[in-house]
Amino acid sequence: MVLALKHGDRMDVALPAAGWMAQAAKELVTPETIVTAVPLHWRRLLSRRFNQSVALGEPVAQKLGLPFIPDGLKRIRPTVMQKEMTREERFANQRDAIRINPSQAGRLADRPVLIVDDVMTTGATLCACAEACLANKSTNVNVVVLARVARSE
């Protein structure tokens, strides 16, 4: 199901999945929370045609009654696909790749943030996103994902 959304253009999966995610995240948010999504680099966005994290994030925010900023984070350099990488390689791949979008910095500062993503394997991408939010003075950062990959390393 997750792969169908991510690589199979199955946008019909996003709405029911977002319902599950919103249910899981409801204890993590407050009325002041801003919801944002893990960004894609513009080149990957062009090739994929949509950001699956944004496709999940918007209905998650709606179901939680919270504002959604799809471009709150910005991938400032392309990263390599991480499918076959070790944990250490994934963290190195994400280092300095994600920042707060300067046009949204004021909206994310001094607020709790909920970051939405489709899949978490090691947490490297979500860690980079959380670090960007905290560097921008977000008061608290939580994440919600559709799936968690169990890997043995």
Domain residue limits at 39: 2-148
Domain presence at residue 129: yes
Query: Which has more confidence, 118 or 4?
Result: 118
What pLDDT is stored for residue 63 in this prediction?
97
Q: Does some domain include residue 153?
A: no
Angle, nearest 10°, between helix axes 14-25 and 52-64? 50
User: For residue 14, what pLDDT band results from cuts at 50, 70 and 90?
Assistant: confident
Q: Which residue in the block uniquely carries the two structure tokens 């199955």? A: 10
In a domain, 135, yes or no: yes
Q: Which amino acid is at 44?
A: R
Q: What is the DSSP letter of 19?
A: H
Task: Read off the CATH number of the domain in which 82 is found.
Answer: 3.40.50.2020
The mean pLDDT value for 121-143 works out to 94
> How many domains is the chain built from?
1
What pLDDT digit, counting tens, does each position of 24-68 carry? 999 999 999 999 999 986 776 566 667 889 999 999 999 999 999
Contact 113, 33 (CB under 8 A): yes
